[in-house]
Structure 1
Amino acid sequence: MSQHLRFEAANGMMATRTKFGEYTEELLQLNDSIQVEYRKTTLQALKMAVSHLASLQHQKKEILKLFQQNNITADVYNDEIKGVDDEIGTIEIFIQNNIGTKPLLRVRTLK
């Protein structure tokens, strides 16, 4: 499909490259204002998620430093790391779901 359409992240629009792309864009109303708004807000949410992910990874390093300096107990360390890891997992799944990299479920086989 990339030979026919190209996504322009700067404005959230789908640019057409061929007649088939023009037909597809028109048929599916790919540049309808609601579709464009959805793409733009999704991109913004992804930027915020990536920023939050980096912040959580930094927070993990800071918790480890506190533990290594004996400023927090092992129990506090484990609780804090678990909380941060859980949030990191949620953010990573959000990102994967929105950029299309989450692995698909296996197809069940009939016996």
Structure 2
Amino acid sequence: MLPTSLKAKVQRILLKGSFKKSESSKSRVKGLSNISAGFTFEKMFDDGYCLYYTCGNMTFRGMPNEKKDNQTEKIYHFLLDQGLQKNIELTEFGNKKVILLKVE
């Protein structure tokens, strides 16, 4: 399985499980965009991806890291329940918890 197809599979599972994806929209200020709260993917080294919960820069901007990490853990446990034990790993990257997507 390719990293992009694993990413698409995980995204489909999360959207069916009523999790919201972080979305970007244009702002009135030139060069800025509004980002909503939800899960997001970030490209890692070696064509891998990581998944985490972001508070965006809109309503939940002041959300503490503990709440974001709790949301990431909730996503992780949901993915475990869906049978993706071999393809995901919960770890810390920088100052936040992330879920690494691993292709076997």
With normalisation by structure 1, the TM-score equals 0.30
> 1 or 2 for the larger relative contact order (CA 8 Å, sep ≥6)?
2
Higher-helix-fraction structure? 1
Larger radius of gyration, structure 1 or 2?
A: 1
Higher-strand-fraction structure? 2
With normalisation by structure 2, the TM-score equals 0.32
